[in-house]
């Protein structure tokens, strides 16, 4: 355990397109569809919200809620079951081996490993029952009236820093390295920052 006055060294990484070579929001939909083909009609609704998102016509939180409508009326226990099976299928073959080696090295040195992702916690969590991290933050949801509602804000950009600060609860910490597939706030806060493009790790020029 870290003492209350000792600075905690942290490595932060994004999940989708970074540690995970694909994008889980799309891949998990395909997986659920393979189990429940009748949900295919949600594809057109999802395509519509993707377009709005790309055009910046919708807030990230609203986008997350609507994109995942394909999970409507699936009980949380069933989503968890599907998520466990999904990640067993994906891990470790579709993950970045070089990043895994970096994280494993840091772990041996006592560095705190933190995943901050925009993915929904309810389906991301089973991954980290397989690959251990010290902390992870994702978009939180609650199941209400047959649909999933985002609690607070989607875990994107500045919100990731909010969640990190909350998890460390006032303890001094320093992000020594950060990894993402796109420019975001955690990269600007790190001592060393890296972009992951086509599975290649490159220094980030802020």
| 182 lies in some domain | yes
Q: Cα separation of 193 and 44, whole Å?
A: 37
**117 lies in a domain?**
yes
Mean pLDDT check: name the lowest of 29-33, 53-57, 180-184.
53-57
Q: What is the pLDDT of residue 3?
A: 41
Position 74 in a domain: yes
Burial of 99 (0-12, 13-18, 19+ CB in 10 A): buried
**Buried-state track 68-79, b at ≥16 Cβ within 10 A, e below 16:** bebbeebeeeeb
Does the structure show a pLDDT above 70 at 1? no
**Tokens for 31?**
């997986």
Alpha-carbon distance of 63 to 136, in angstroms, equals: 21
Q: For 84-126, what is each residue's pLDDT tens digit?
A: 999 999 999 999 999 999 999 999 999 999 999 999 999 999 9
Asked if the structure places residue 1 within a domain, the reply is: no
pLDDT at res. 5: 64
pLDDT(2) > 70? no
User: Does the residue 124 lie in any domain?
Assistant: yes
Rounded Cα distance, 45 and 51, in Å: 10
Give the residue with greater pLDDT, 58 vs 154: 154
Give me the CATH number covering residue 183.
3.40.50.1000
> Residue 3 falls within a domain, yes or no?
no
Total domain count, the chain = 1
Burial string for 124-162 (b: 16+ CB within 10 Å, else e) reads bbbbbeebebebbbbbbbebeeebbebeebbbbbebbbe
Q: What residue numbers bound the domain in which 94 lies?
A: 8-203
pLDDT (0 to 100) of residue 158: 96
**How far apart, in whole angstroms, are the C-alpha atoms of residue 153 and residue 162?**
10
Write down the pTM of the prediction. 0.90
DSSP letters spanning 162-195: HHHHHHHTT--EEEEEEEESS--HHHHHSSEEEE
Sole residue written with tokens 């295919």 = 40
- Residue 2 is classified by DSSP as -
Averaged pLDDT, 155-181: 96
């Amino acid at each position: 355990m870290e003492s209350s006055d000792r600075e905690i060294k942290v490595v932060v990484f994004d999940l989708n397109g970074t540690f995970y070579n694909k994008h889980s929001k799309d891949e998990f939909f395909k997986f659920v569809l393979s189990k429940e083909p009748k949900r295919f009609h949600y594809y057109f609704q999802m395509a519509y919200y993707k377009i709005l998102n790309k055009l910046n016509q919708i807030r990230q939180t609203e986008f997350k809620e609507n994109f995942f409508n394909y999970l409507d009326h699936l009980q949380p226990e069933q989503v968890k079951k599907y998520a466990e099976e999904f990640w067993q299928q994906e891990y470790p073959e579709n993950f970045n081996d070089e990043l895994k080696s970096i994280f494993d090295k840091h772990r041996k040195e006592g560095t705190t490993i933190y995943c901050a992702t925009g993915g929904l916690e309810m389906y991301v969590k089973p991954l980290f029952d397989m690959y251990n991290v010290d902390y992870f933050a994702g978009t939180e949801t609650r199941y209400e009236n047959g649909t999933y509602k985002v609690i607070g804000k989607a875990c994107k950009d500045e919100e990731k820093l909010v969640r990190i600060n909350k998890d460390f609860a006032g303890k001094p910490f320093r992000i020594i390295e950060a990894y993402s597939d796109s420019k975001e706030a955690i990269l600007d806060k790190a001592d060393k920052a890296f972009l992951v493009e086509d599975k290649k790790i490159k220094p980030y020029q802020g």
